[in-house]
Structure 1
Amino acid sequence: MKHLYCLWLFVMFSLPASAQDSLFALPQNYLGSIEKKSEKVSNRIDASAEKAVSKLLRQEEKLYRKVKKISPEQAEGIFRKGLDSLRGLKTAMKSGKLQLPPGIKQHVPALDSMATSLKFLGGNQELLQGSKEKLQGAVSGIQSLQQSLDNAAQIERYIKEQQKALKAQLAQFTGLSKNLQAISKDAYYYNQQVKEYKSLLSDKKKAEKKALELLSKSKIYKDFMQRNSQFSGLLGLPATGATAQIEGLQTRAMVEEALRQRVGNNPASRQAVSQLMDNAQQAFSKYKDKLPNMSTMSDEPDFKPNPFKSKTFLHRLELGGNIQFQKTSQYFPSSTEIAGQAAYKLNGRSSAGLGVSYTLGMGTGWNHIRFSHQGIGLRSFLDWKLKGSFYVYGGAEAKYITTIRNGNDLKAWNNWKPSALIGISKKYKINAKLKGNIQLVYDFMARQQMPVSSPIILRLGYTK
């Protein structure tokens, strides 16, 4: 056994660095995860581009008909070339044969990391654990996604140019501001939607996180990333492992040396400086978030945008729940109603949603505690921001408030009691992920129900 151990040590230390560095294996579903994600985002970007082109075409056709009534010659001169171009573009996109001339390659950090990791795996296929056949599928997916992003950037640029040209050419006509405003809105929301889809690439699945974590521990991969990533190409970094200094910028080593000279090697001083740097970075991020999320200040919209319109359906959902108690005595709650809900953010001020509730009976007093199934309920609601963290709440609900013995009891529709609610809710922050809320509502139909219950309802809830 001792001889075998010595032999193993000899083999390990005799291997070149590249061989030692490749002794780890990546998760088998890493390549499949990349392929699925790239296909999903690519399809969404392509569909969004086709929708944007169709909207622009409809708006230009409307403008063309209006201008044609005033001056047919000017209408032909202003719109004919643009309409033909948009129709051809729409046809090519529907048939899947869109071939735009090469433009500036779009850089997305998450996509760059995935593409570079695939290049690395292409030259180190022993890490793939029998998944070599999936590598080409993942590479094709990344290439298709990059093409979709490049096409989207060119279409976005084309829409902006058309928008500016039409605004200048139609300045002499009146009654067209509504159509021009619609084009401006469509262009803005298309830009925001593409950004939203790009952000999906940063949402890494478990296999991706594990694979990138393993790769990041490899010195060979780090050197490869520095030489072959799209970002290093943009900055013109050297094809060596040396740290490059870009003219006009300080390297990390230069900053660390300057701090060492000023504060010395005292751990307490260095910790204080580190805390100050973190605070400065957080403050900078807050100011950056307040700036318009656009490539240039000239792209600032001339209308108040809805920040949720470009979000995906799931990103506009807000899940949560609440609880309320109903008393039969001064101290003991006879029932507890627990509810779960999903709200859809309509805009930055309002949301609408649906929910379900379950009523748990708890007995009639401290000396008679008895748990029972007392009912279920269905809810619909709408809340609208009043001021600050206060919201107006309105809801329509139906409760089955008779003891449930079996599923057939729920078919007795006369046992379902309606409620019409309106009130005020106060929202507050619990932590980075959870928000709490307190609702005080009035039920206008409480007195019409049997048994009669209090029309004033207090609910405690949360959302995330």
Structure 2
Amino acid sequence: MRIRHLLTIVCMVLLSQISTAQVAKTDSTLASLSDKAIDKLSSKADKLASKLHKKSQKQLDKFERIEKKALRKIALKDSILGNSLLKESKEKYAAMKSRLRSGRLETLGLDNYLTKLDSLETGLACITKNFDISSNEKLASISNGIKSISSLKQSYKDAGSVGAFLKQQRNQLKQYSTKFGLDRQLKKLSKDYYYYGQMVADYKQVLNDPLKQQELVLKVIRKVPMFSEFFSKHSELASLFPNNGNIGTAAGLVGLQTTAMVRQGIQGQLQGASTAQINALQQQITQAQQELKQLKQKLSQMTSGNSEMEVPDFTPNSMRRKPFAKRLEYNANIQSTRNTPFWPTTSDIGLGLGFKLNDRSVIGLGASYKLGWGRDIRNIKITHEGLGLRSYIDWRLKGSFYLSGGYEQNYRQRIENISLLKQTDYWQQSGLLGLSKKIAVKKKMKTDIKLLFDFLYRQHVPETQPILFRVGYSF
């Protein structure tokens, strides 16, 4: 009896120590959950939610304007049908905008599921429901984080619902296209719908990417002992795939085919077949798997991550999806005039800022400065030999080869005084056309090699060289 009592006491002490250790571990885990990281995450989520919500509203307004023009065109030929469609369209868009403002749009289930945001929201909720947080600041920070993440998830789901609505409106208008000549309006609607879908897909990629603050918070949340169990019951994923309590048990496997059963069925079908026939079948299966893999890759590229495949009937411009700052291209180049084989007399140093119109063309503005080096290496003298203003366009022909052109104004006199730049007689025009090749050096840097012909070189006094060779970098 004494031994039993002794063992009971030892077990109680051990359990108490384990419990104390778990509490201490949980306390240290919560202490490492930085308020600053949660606040930054909340701020980022709020900005993305607001931006996505505004883009959805703007797209609805734009789609409605284009659709209204198409329906008015129908009304000119069939007033009864046109006016009826106009009234119906107005009511639909008004109802859609009202639901968007109030956040009462229907969600599209798994299509709009965001893994990282679900983990963050559920993890923060797990902490607030299972632990007593003594710091009011931390509790407020976590509550704001849950609210911001929930708002961002809703904005993303709303964007998906808006996309489904726009597709429905476009498809409804298609049935009147041939009869009333709505090809132009339908083409605009198709383009807008495609680019809106691409924008939503881009947001999904951003929201599922491991952001710094997002990973810091998730790293702490995953250390909470009961997170996995809480996630399996209370997450959005759990609501999409309800757990009947049999997962991981023998009862959950009832009715499912095992690997042995599948293998046995195949062997039964191949009874009596020769070795050559079996080998031929295996080769066909391997070939079919490879072709299926290639087909899936092509479909993935065409849909760009969209769950609903939308193959455009035009050549998409990927630049249209990017913000203004991402479409800018910076470049620098240099062109030297030599006095001796080893020493340049002057060097034209140019800087430019380009804007990517589409995947093939860039337009831009720039400026140049002509630097004098002196007569030779023994007589080095830095002088200011001129300035220039430039405009240019690069159009990709094939691969890394571009058709390049531009117009320039160059001041080709030594600058002794800034006031001399006002003398227009010293400014010379250049009209350039030629070829360029862009060679990738790094991920975001390319070497530009340009060979240009100046059509106006004969008008220069003194006459300048007609062929210009420039080497530079763009990034």
How does the TM-score come out when normalised to structure 2?
0.72
Matched, 1:104 2:108: yes
Q: Which amino acid aligns with 2:431?
A: A
Q: Is the CA contact 2:123–2:221 (under 8 Å) kept in the aligned structure 1?
A: no
Partner of 1:196: 202
- Pairwise CA distance, 1:460: 1.9
In structure 2, which of residues 326, 339, 355 is the aligned counterpart of residue 328 of structure 1? 339
Partner of 2:304: 293
Report the CA distance shift for 1:285/1:156 in structure 2 as closer, same or farther (over 3 A): closer
- Output the CA distance in 2 between the equivalents of 1:453 and 1:114: 66
* Structure 2 residue ranges without an equivalent (≥5): 1-16, 259-292
Report the CA distance shift for 1:218/1:381 in structure 2 as closer, same or farther (over 3 A): farther
Matched, 1:393 2:400: no
Matched, 1:215 2:226: no
Q: Which amino acid aligns with 2:186?
A: L
- Output the CA distance in 1 between the equivalents of 2:351 and 2:243: 53
Q: Is the CA contact 1:49–1:155 (under 8 Å) kept in the aligned structure 2?
A: yes
Partner of 2:78: 71
In structure 2, which of residues 356, 360, 367 is the aligned counterpart of residue 356 of structure 1? 367
Q: Is the CA contact 1:375–1:403 (under 8 Å) kept in the aligned structure 2?
A: yes
- Output the CA distance in 1 between the equivalents of 2:216 and 2:231: 20
Query: Tell me, what secondary structure is at the counterpart of 1:347?
Result: coil
Query: What are the residue-to-residue correspondences of 1:62-461 with 2, within 5 Å?
Result: 62-90=69-97, 92=98, 97-105=101-109, 106-116=112-122, 118-119=124-125, 122=128, 132-168=139-175, 170=176, 173-201=179-207, 207-208=213-214, 215=220, 218=223, 220=225, 223=228, 227=232, 230-231=236-237, 234=240, 290-293=301-304, 295=306, 299-404=310-415, 416-450=427-461, 452-461=463-472
Q: Is the CA contact 2:197–2:306 (under 8 Å) kept in the aligned structure 1?
A: no
Report the CA distance shift for 1:15/1:435 in structure 2 as closer, same or farther (over 3 A): same
- Pairwise CA distance, 1:249: 12
Q: Which has the larger radius of gyration?
A: 2
In structure 1, which of residues 30, 33, 42 is the aligned counterpart of residue 49 of structure 2? 42
Bigger shift: residues 172-181 or 412-421: 412-421
Query: Tell me, what secondary structure is at the counterpart of 1:352?
Result: strand
Partner of 1:52: 59
Bigger shift: residues 200-209 or 178-187: 200-209
Q: More helix by proportion, 1 or 2?
A: 2
Q: Is the CA contact 1:342–1:353 (under 8 Å) kept in the aligned structure 2?
A: yes
Report the CA distance shift for 1:41/1:405 in structure 2 as closer, same or farther (over 3 A): farther
Report the CA distance shift for 1:366/1:390 in structure 2 as closer, same or farther (over 3 A): same
Query: Tell me, what secondary structure is at the counterpart of 1:22?
Result: helix
Q: Is the CA contact 1:33–1:208 (under 8 Å) kept in the aligned structure 2?
A: no
Query: Tell me, what secondary structure is at the counterpart of 2:358?
Result: coil
Partner of 1:256: none
Q: Which amino acid aligns with 2:107?
A: G
* Structure 1 residue ranges without an equivalent (≥5): 1-10, 251-281
Query: Tell me, what secondary structure is at the counterpart of 2:392?
Result: strand
- Pairwise CA distance, 1:290: 3.7
Deviations 1:185-242 (A, max 9, x none): 2211221122234444467665556555x53884749747964654566566899xx9
- Output the CA distance in 2 between the equivalents of 1:128 and 1:316: 45
Bigger shift: residues 412-421 or 342-351: 412-421
Report the CA distance shift for 1:402/1:308 in structure 2 as closer, same or farther (over 3 A): same
- Pairwise CA distance, 1:383: 1.2
- Pairwise CA distance, 1:439: 1.1
Bigger shift: residues 307-316 or 411-420: 411-420
Report the CA distance shift for 1:436/1:292 in structure 2 as closer, same or farther (over 3 A): farther
Q: Which amino acid aligns with 2:446?
A: K
Q: Is the CA contact 1:397–1:419 (under 8 Å) kept in the aligned structure 2?
A: yes
- Output the CA distance in 2 between the equivalents of 1:12 and 1:456: 83
Query: Tell me, what secondary structure is at the counterpart of 1:371?
Result: strand
- Pairwise CA distance, 1:157: 0.8
Q: Which amino acid aligns with 1:150?
A: K
Q: Is the CA contact 1:25–1:127 (under 8 Å) kept in the aligned structure 2?
A: no
Q: Which amino acid aligns with 2:166?
A: I
Q: Is the CA contact 1:26–1:129 (under 8 Å) kept in the aligned structure 2?
A: no
Report the CA distance shift for 1:12/1:97 in structure 2 as closer, same or farther (over 3 A): same
Partner of 1:257: none
- Output the CA distance in 2 between the equivalents of 1:211 and 1:400: 58
Bigger shift: residues 186-195 or 322-331: 322-331
Q: Is the CA contact 1:46–1:152 (under 8 Å) kept in the aligned structure 2?
A: yes
Deviations 1:18-69 (A, max 9, x none): 3475276355542343233223322322222222212222222222222222
Report the CA distance shift for 1:355/1:139 in structure 2 as closer, same or farther (over 3 A): farther
Report the CA distance shift for 1:114/1:342 in structure 2 as closer, same or farther (over 3 A): farther
- Output the CA distance in 2 between the equivalents of 1:461 and 1:249: 63
Query: Tell me, what secondary structure is at the counterpart of 2:315?
Result: coil
Q: Is the CA contact 2:122–2:231 (under 8 Å) kept in the aligned structure 1?
A: no
Q: Which amino acid aligns with 1:191?
A: G
Report the CA distance shift for 1:221/1:147 in structure 2 as closer, same or farther (over 3 A): same
Q: Is the CA contact 2:430–2:456 (under 8 Å) kept in the aligned structure 1?
A: yes
Q: Is the CA contact 1:28–1:128 (under 8 Å) kept in the aligned structure 2?
A: no
Partner of 1:269: none
- Output the CA distance in 2 between the equivalents of 1:401 and 1:44: 49
- Output the CA distance in 2 between the equivalents of 1:18 and 1:249: 43
- Pairwise CA distance, 1:396: 2.1
RMSD: 4.2
- Pairwise CA distance, 1:392: 0.6
Q: Which amino acid aligns with 1:72?
A: S
- Pairwise CA distance, 1:131: 5.4
Partner of 2:68: 61
